[in-house]
Amino acid sequence: MGLEKAYLVNTSVSPEQKTKVLFNPTEYSIDRGATYAEQQVPGRELPILQYVRGNVQTLTVELMLDGTKKREPIESDLEKIRLFTRIDEHMHAPPVCRFEWGGSSENPASANQPSSAGRTTPSTFFTGVVSSLKERFTLFDEQGRILRARLTLTLKSYSAAEVQNRESPLSSPDRTRIRVFREGETLAQLANEAYGDPRLWRIIAKVNDIERPRFITPGTPLRIPSIGDNVFNQAANDTGT
């Protein structure tokens, strides 16, 4: 498959600034991951894995700038791309970059906007900050100006804090919370719901001073401690869980 048009979009300015590049769509890579903490519980062979946070996603692409068709140097486009690695005087940080490929080749829409007449949402996009830019110059004109360059670009995913707060789940096992006991439930079910392990029901019973777990009155508010806090650890030690 030959080279196709793609765009690097500076989303930190208004209006957004787009730089056209060439992209070989046969291959690109995105790295994803998550971080977990290990919580040792006395008497258990394996630790409890507690989700801590998602890791930054990383996109690496090979791009090309080519001015040979019009015999025009590409320094101005190179400078636009280099801006993604420099601190903006107004933001005090490098600008945010969106990689777009697919859809309309001449007028791609923003990845966050619906399609409209004459515009098509790109089939592939990635928003982040440039963590690495490698340049290799392969062709020059008679004056020594650059006509062709190959770029290796690495982006680390970026999302504004307010967007992350809006999209994050409101309840999580790493926060102590109150759970109302419902008719027909058991503490083992609550432990499985809260921690993913029904065998930790004794911790919930200990924290809530429950001596007869089979006779809990429906509607009783129960404290569900977070994995790894002092209350959880003390209850685990006391019950030998």
Contact by Cβ (8 Å): 137, 106:
no
pLDDT computed for residue 128 by the predictor? 92
Query: Which residue is it, tokens 């008719």?
Result: 183
In this prediction, residues 13-24 reach a mean pLDDT of 89
pLDDT > 90 in the chain, percent: 38
pLDDT at 13 over 70: yes
- For residue 79, the tally of other CB atoms under 10 A from its CB is 11
Average pLDDT score over the chain? 81
- Note the pLDDT of residue 148: 93
Select the highest-mean-pLDDT range: 29-43, 107-121, 172-186, 192-206.
192-206
ω into residue 218 within 30 of 0, thus cis?
A: no
**Rounded Cα gap, residues 5 and 108, in angstroms:** 11
pLDDT at 52 over 80: no
Instruction: Say what percent of the chain tops pLDDT 70.
Output: 79
Render pLDDT for 85-106 as a digit per residue (tens, 0 to 9). 999 888 888 999 999 987 643 4
pLDDT of residue 64: 93
Domains of the chain: 4-167 (2.40.30), 177-239 (3.10.350.10)
Predicted confidence at residue 118, as pLDDT, reads 45
pLDDT of residue 73: 93
pLDDT over threshold 60, residue 115: no
**Residue 205 near residue 232 (C-beta atoms within 8 A):** no
